[in-house]
């Protein structure tokens, strides 16, 4: 066994340096810092789209810290929960600020995550060799949705109660296991004290641990293969005499100050929302949630918080009449794959069988529209994970794709935003038709991506990143 060698310092060395050396001899603190940030070389052509990763980390820390302070006064009891939130808001010193930081942070988290995912979509950050980074990031997105859903019930207001009631009841549409699954999630036959307690446990302990683990995996995978950049070029392919990429710079100090500026701008906007518009017109905090939960009085319009509404609109768009449209779409898609795909005959046959079974299942005599609404609701989320294998473009970045590809992204983005808006509104005939059209556009973007992403005339990709000093 090798003898332990402790780092020696001159007698006049600063105390902080000696302390750091003492720690490094027992724990690789400096090595971790250098590997993960200090001497991690990142492409030098990052733009503002690359600020959202550090903002997501900042918000995660804010949510954990404010959540800890909230749990000191919150009571996970159906008879006391709403009153404890009011007590935090009115009696606890600065409790209103902590509560608004937490509620605004939830919406800010999703805004930042959606923008972070948009950057990945624009610059192909999910392409080889970064598939695992994307999957870890998608796992964070799923865990974040679960975390927000579990936390949605905790204020025990009208919208919390009835929103949770509606969402949990969706699982009842699953054949065979649905009713038992809904009962297991609720812990009772209706949303009750048992539901509140288990949601509190998941929101405070279980899901945050999962998120922290996935964030660590996401960062480790990122630093293993290196960061993507707006040009979609591998900077590791061009190394200098020192072994570092010529088109990359150390994250510290260059991106440390870059990120500090972005964080400052974010905190300015974040503070403005907290102090002047914490409810954000009812989108961040619904007005019905300032009314205690009443199981005997149903709100006129039940809708989840805005960050769930694009997928909720897909669920609501799936009506009995819409199923006939979906049957025709599935049939057309199977025929399209047979005619245009280069898949093997065996794979095509399997897809055809699955398509036929889906069409049969969509008949009203077999499975009702409510079941398929839940299926499409889940598929609208899960399909995002398949991006690395759906995009067949010869280039990563949108900069070097055909110009008409940008309009495809714009149509997709608009359909997603429209679905989100319609999900916050009361159902209407016109809104229903628009949401159905946007649902078809949303799924078409992904399911037709293997073909449209490879079509057109692509621009030549430079061997070195394009960079304008600023």
* Short-list 102, 100, 112, CA closest to 68: 102
Same domain, 228 and 272: yes
Identify the DSSP state of 366: T
Q: Is 244 annotated as a binding residue?
A: no
Residues 218, 96, single domain; the answer is: yes
Q: Are residues 123 and 267 in the same domain?
A: yes
Percent of the chain surpassing pLDDT 90: 59
Which residues form the domain of 154?
27-236+246-286
Question: What CATH number corresponds to the domain at position 394?
Answer: 1.20.810.10
Q: How far apart are CA 183 and CA 172, in angstroms?
A: 9
Clarify whether residues 157 and 182 are in a common domain. yes
Banded pLDDT at 83 (limits 50, 70, 90): very high
Q: What is the pLDDT of residues 187-198, one digit of tens each?
A: 888 888 999 999
User: Tell me, what's the pLDDT at 60?
Assistant: 96
pLDDT at position 458 over 70: yes
* pLDDT at residue 1 tops 60: no
pLDDT value at 468 more than 80: no
| pLDDT for the residue 191 | 86
Q: Is the pLDDT of residue 91 over 90?
A: yes
> Is 269 inside a domain boundary?
yes
For the residues 297-325, what does the mean pLDDT come to? 89
Average pLDDT of the segment spanning 36-63: 92
Q: Which residue has the higher pLDDT, 399 or 18?
A: 399
Asked whether residue 102 falls in the same domain as residue 152, the answer is yes
* pLDDT tens profile 205-221: 999 999 999 999 999 99
Mean pLDDT (the chain) is 90
Enumerate the β-bridge partners of residue 249.
Answer: 42
Number of structural domains in the chain: 2
- Per-residue pLDDT at 329: 92
So what's the pLDDT on residue 10?
A: 75
pLDDT digits (tens, 9 = 90+) for 93-102: 999 999 999 9
93 CB-contact burial (10 Å; exposed 0-12 / middle 13-18 / buried 19+): exposed
Identify the pLDDT of residue 470.
56
How much is the average pLDDT of 444-455? 94
Sequence-ordered list of residues with C-beta below 8 angstroms from that of 16, at least 6 positions apart, any chain: none
CA distance 439 to 118: 19
**Cα–Cα separations (whole angstroms), residue 134 to 7, 201, 223:** 40, 28, 13
Is residue 217 within 8 Å of residue 143, measured between CB atoms?
no
Q: Are residues 58 and 87 in the same domain?
A: yes
Instruction: Examine residue 7 and state whether it is found in any structural domain, yes or no.
Output: no
Identify whether 298 is part of a domain.
no
Is 203 labelled as part of a ligand binding site? yes
Query: Which string of DSSP letters, residue by residue, matches 189-241?
Result: SSS-HHHHHHHHHIIIIIHHHHHHHHHHHHHHHHHHH----TT---GGGSB-T
> 73 in a domain, yes or no?
yes
CB-neighbour burial class of residue 53 (10 A; exposed 0-12, middle 13-18, buried 19+): buried
**For residue 132, is it within any domain?**
yes
Structure tokens at 157: 């207001």
* pLDDT over 70 percentage in the chain: 98
Note whether 333 and 261 are same-domain residues: no
91 and 211 fall within a common domain: yes
For the stretch 313-346, pLDDT in tens is 999 999 988 999 999 999 999 999 988 888 888 8
Quick one: pLDDT at residue 3? Answer: 61
Radius of gyration of the chain (CA): 25
pTM (predicted TM-score)? 0.93
Same domain, 109 and 177: yes
- 393 within 8 A of 124, measured Cβ to Cβ: yes
Domain presence at residue 22: no
- Residue 18, domain member (yes or no): no
Closest to 298 measured CA to CA, from 153, 166, 431: 166
Instruction: Report the pLDDT value the prediction gives residue 469, as an integer from 0 to 100.
Output: 65
Q: Is residue 278 located within the same domain as residue 307?
A: no
Residue 6 lies in a domain: no
Tell me, what's the pLDDT at 5?
67
Whether 100 and 232 map to the same domain: the answer is: yes
Q: In this structure, are 113 and 162 located in the same domain?
A: yes
Residue 301, marked binder: no
């Amino acid at each position: 066994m090798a003898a332990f060698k402790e780092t020696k310092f001159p007698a006049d060395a600063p105390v902080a340096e000696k302390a750091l050396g003492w720690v490094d001899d027992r724990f690789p603190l400096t090595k971790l810092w250098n590997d993960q940030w200090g001497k991690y070389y990142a492409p030098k052509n990052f733009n503002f789209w690359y600020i959202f990763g550090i903002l997501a980390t900042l918000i995660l820390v804010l949510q954990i810290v404010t959540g800890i302070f909230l749990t000191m006064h919150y009571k996970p009891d159906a008879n006391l929960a709403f009153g404890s939130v009011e007590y935090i808001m009115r009696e606890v010193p600065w409790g209103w600020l902590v509560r608004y930081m937490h509620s605004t942070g939830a919406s800010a988290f999703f805004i930042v995550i959606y923008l972070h995912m948009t950057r990945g979509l624009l610059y192909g950050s999910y392409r080889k060799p970064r598939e695992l980074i994307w999957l870890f990031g998608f796992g964070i997105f799923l865990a974040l949705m679960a975390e927000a859903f579990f936390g949605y019930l905790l204020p025990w207001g009208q919208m919390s109660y009835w929103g949770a009631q509606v969402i949990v009841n969706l699982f009842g549409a699953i054949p065979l296991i649905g009713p038992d699954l809904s009962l297991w999630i609720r812990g009772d036959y209706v949303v009750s004290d048992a539901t509140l307690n288990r949601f509190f446990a998941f929101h405070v302990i279980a899901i945050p641990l999962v998120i922290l683990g996935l964030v660590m995996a996401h960062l480790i995978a990122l630093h293993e293969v290196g960061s993507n950049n707006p040009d979609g070029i591998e900077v590791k392919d061009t190394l200098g005499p020192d072994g570092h990429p010529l088109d990359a710079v150390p994250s510290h100090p260059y991106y440390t100050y870059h990120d500090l500026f972005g964080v400052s701008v974010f905190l300015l906007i974040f503070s403005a929302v907290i102090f002047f518009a914490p409810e954000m017109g009812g989108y961040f905090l619904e007005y019905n949630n300032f009314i205690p939960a009443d199981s005997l009085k149903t709100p006129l319009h039940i809708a989840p918080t805005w960050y769930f509404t694009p997928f909720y609109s897909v669920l609501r768009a799936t009506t009995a009449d819409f199923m006939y449209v979906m049957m025709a779409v599935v049939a057309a898609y199977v025929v399209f794959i047979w005619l245009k795909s280069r898949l093997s005959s065996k794979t095509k046959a399997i897809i055809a069988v699955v398509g036929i079974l889906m069409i049969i299942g969509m008949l009203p005599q077999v499975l009702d529209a409510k079941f398929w609404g839940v299926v499409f609701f889940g598929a609208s989320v899960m399909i995002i994970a398949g991006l690395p294998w759906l995009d067949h473009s010869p280039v990563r970045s949108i900069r070097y794709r055909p110009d008409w590809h940008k309009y495809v992204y714009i149509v997709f983005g608009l359909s997603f935003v429209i679905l989100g808006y319609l999900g916050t509104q009361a159902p209407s005939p016109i809104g229903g038709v628009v949401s159905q059209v946007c649902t078809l556009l949303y799924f078409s973007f992904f399911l037709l991506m293997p073909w449209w992403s490879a079509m057109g005339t692509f621009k030549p990709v430079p061997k070195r990143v394009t960079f304008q000093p600023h």
